[in-house]
């Protein structure tokens, strides 16, 4: 493995963070807290769960189990975030914890063993585990946002009906190596 893995993982985490934020920006405060039915979670609840997971997994992740004793996972599903400000604070706190943990990693760290609920993972496996978990929930956030916005939804990827034009633009350029998230992340800056 090379540092390409770490760079790619960081870019993918940034990409999914950006998708969540672009969804939040399209929604009213009320929509962030709307629970579509008794069994579903609001966007705010999903954010609270991601926050709890990120703090647990990435706080002292090289030296302590990723499922911290202080984590209250069941309480993460209580819909009790007060407002958009608190939602965004939790969102940013979780992502900051993640990026602070993975930014100093090097290639030699990837094979080190850490534990999540007493199950051993290499650092690479732990990163991959969260690269599956977080996009799953960000996808839920985007889907709920799209449902709530309806026809007012601004696409976060290739807009419906624009695939042909999008591909024509891509294939008009010479072949080159570029991480797929670069065009989206650079848009944000």
Domain 3-154 fold: 1.20.120
pTM score over 0.75: yes
Chain length of the chain: 189
Q: What is the rounded CA–CA span in Å between residue 37 and residue 47?
A: 17
Domain boundaries, the chain: 3-154
Q: What percent of the chain has pLDDT over 70?
A: 96
Give pLDDT tens digits for 136-174.
999 999 999 999 999 999 999 888 888 999 888 889 988
Q: Residues 74-103: pLDDT tens digits?
A: 999 998 999 999 999 999 999 999 999 999
CA-angle at 182, arms to 140 and 60, nearest 5°:
65
Question: 27-39 burial, b if ≥16 CB within 10 A, otherwise e?
Answer: beeebbbbeeeee
């Amino acid at each position: 493995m090379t540092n390409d893995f770490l760079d790619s993982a960081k870019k993918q985490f940034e990409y999914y963070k950006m998708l969540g934020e672009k969804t939040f920006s399209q929604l009213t405060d009320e929509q962030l807290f709307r629970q579509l039915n008794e069994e579903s979670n609001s966007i705010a609840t999903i954010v609270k769960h991601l926050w709890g997971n990120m703090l647990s997994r990435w706080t002292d992740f090289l030296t302590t189990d990723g499922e911290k004793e202080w984590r209250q996972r069941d309480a993460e599903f209580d819909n009790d975030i007060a407002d958009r400000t608190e939602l965004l604070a939790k969102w940013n706190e979780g992502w900051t914890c993640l990026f602070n943990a993975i930014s100093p990693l090097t290639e030699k760290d990837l094979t080190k063993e850490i534990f999540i609920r007493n199950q051993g993972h290499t650092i690479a496996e732990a990163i991959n585990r969260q690269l599956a978990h977080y996009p799953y929930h960000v996808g839920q956030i985007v889907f709920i946002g799209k449902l709530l916005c309806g026809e007012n939804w601004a696409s976060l990827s290739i807009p419906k009906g624009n695939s042909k034009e999008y591909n024509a633009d891509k294939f008009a350029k010479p072949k080159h190596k570029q991480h797929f998230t670069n065009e989206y992340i650079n848009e944000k800056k």
